[in-house]
Structure 1
């Protein structure tokens, strides 16, 4: 019994460490995109999709696993179709995120990830029959108040943050119905979009509209390498997350997920000197309070689950 307990504790610790590392990488991602100011987001997205496939193939080799086979995909066509839908949804979220990263809007990206759990809660109620706890109800109310105050003060919706948060929540909802594991699902998503990305890049090159490819052909490779590097940079955290989710609890992951937007918030304010006024302070404070209530509510359940058996 003690041996099994020790193994379980070790596995849980490794899972927690992997999850924390994945959120750390996601949180530090703005530092990479500072090297791509005012990037062509369409071309960057195409490069990211195209080079995701060889990167994921390398991951499968390193983990000693087989890439998704045609027979496996044919056996579960519904999951393949859902992967296609998930990939399109993720494109919108990733497009918004990348635009924020490369146009001095890291604070908006941080806000998007902070309000993402609120969208996830709402989708869970609407589509999965989830019941809201008192803390979750209060979090939704406070989050709505925070966004409403920002709209009232600025006279416009924070579209960038809302699109990121909502589409990432929709992506998570879609993944609930996909029967492939996380790594396989991400690979299938990239495979489905790869032909479109390749054709788009060929069209850009053929019509002489690709600044990246043109500069590379003239000997300037740094921008091309940065565009290609966007694939492993965005997928590495996902790989660590996929490995972590097998060895730790969803409650722990739910609590640790705020590491990412917290780091992005600190980078935006302290490193990139983005404007953080009273309106944003009040809105963020309301959203943070709601998330804190949910976290405090989850802690007793988490302690109960992680109690070692006697």
Structure 2
């Protein structure tokens, strides 16, 4: 019970932080998105290294690597590192190009994508309410595709990358600091090579931007550590409910802080997505109540 409470609390904190971070990345819009991603990765490794040094956990990191190699699971960690990097890049690129509402849309879609993944990979049964919810979301995506003239590839890829990232974290449960260390170590060499070749210099846009780039590591590590704790101590469905905090806060920030246009076309798309979410929530709560009654009999 104590672990579940810790998981839920950590999940709330992580998703609230992620919801608010859109405004932070907007402040870095003068920096190319790929450079911002590279700086984010490098400073994340610096931040997590400080944490590990304080915790004196470097030996545990090494032992974990050896265990993962012996168990043939190191490939999953490498894959998760690239998935989260793809997610980071897409989000930074969309927010800094006045597409924060589209970014929030991807996180609304993601929980229902989790359902599809659970059916395909975890062989869970698909209830009637989940089928209806998925259909409503698909209709919303189709409308968005017709309105824009192209499939919202970035929105769907962003949702899919984090969905499969969460799935891998479930399959290879590791302590939060260890998991994040291995992921950042995997992609940091690529980030460093990119920064060495990039014409952008970290301090070229002034002290404020330089400090924000350094802070990006801290603001990346904290919610990811919280998510790792939540993912380890909370069931998949509960975490899917909590995650709605993230896109809701993102959407509010996009409209009221970043002043993005929210026209009637987007209202229609979001109406279908939100309808799917409501069906999904009520269906899940109904199943939970039935299960509760069965276990108490």
Fold in common (TM above 0.5): yes
- 2:38 matched to 1:52? no
Could you list the runs of 5+ residues in structure 1 that have no partner in the other structure? 1-7
- 2:188 matched to 1:194? yes
User: In structure 2, how many angstroms separate the alpha carbons of the residues matched to 1:174 and 1:18?
Assistant: 19
Structure 1 residues 37-186: aligned runs within 5 Å: 37-61=29-53, 64=55, 66-67=57-58, 68-77=60-69, 78-186=72-180
Question: How far 1:249 sits from its partner (Å)?
Answer: 4.5
Distance 1:231-1:297 versus aligned 2 partners, 3 A rule? same
Question: How far 1:169 sits from its partner (Å)?
Answer: 1.7
User: In structure 1, how many angstroms separate the alpha carbons of the residues matched to 2:150 and 2:188?
Assistant: 36
Question: How far 1:153 sits from its partner (Å)?
Answer: 2.5
Give the aligned partner of residue 240 of structure 1.
226
Q: Is the 8 A contact 1:79 1:179 kept in 2?
A: no
User: In structure 1, how many angstroms separate the alpha carbons of the residues matched to 2:264 and 2:26?
Assistant: 26
- 2:16 matched to 1:30? no
Distance 1:171-1:19 versus aligned 2 partners, 3 A rule? closer
Q: Is the 8 A contact 1:41 1:95 kept in 2?
A: yes
Q: Is the 8 A contact 1:251 1:302 kept in 2?
A: no
Q: Is the 8 A contact 2:4 2:234 kept in 1?
A: yes
Distance 1:137-1:194 versus aligned 2 partners, 3 A rule? same
User: In structure 1, how many angstroms separate the alpha carbons of the residues matched to 2:53 and 2:235?
Assistant: 27
User: In structure 2, how many angstroms separate the alpha carbons of the residues matched to 1:300 and 1:60?
Assistant: 43
- 2:208 matched to 1:222? yes
Give the aligned partner of residue 258 of structure 1.
244
Give the aligned partner of residue 257 of structure 2.
271
Residue from 9, 19, 24 that aligns with 1:17: 9
- Bigger Cα Rg: 1
Query: CA offsets per residue over residues 21-55 of structure 1, 9 Å max, x none?
Result: 21111111112112112421121111111121221
Give the aligned partner of residue 285 of structure 1.
271
> SS in structure 2 opposite 1:162?
helix
Q: Is the 8 A contact 2:46 2:217 kept in 1?
A: no
User: In structure 2, how many angstroms separate the alpha carbons of the residues matched to 1:241 and 1:177?
Assistant: 15
User: In structure 2, how many angstroms separate the alpha carbons of the residues matched to 1:267 and 1:76?
Assistant: 40
TM-score (norm 2): 0.87
> SS in structure 1 opposite 2:281?
helix
Question: How far 1:84 sits from its partner (Å)?
Answer: 1.0
Query: Bigger CA drift: 293-302 or 96-105?
Result: 293-302
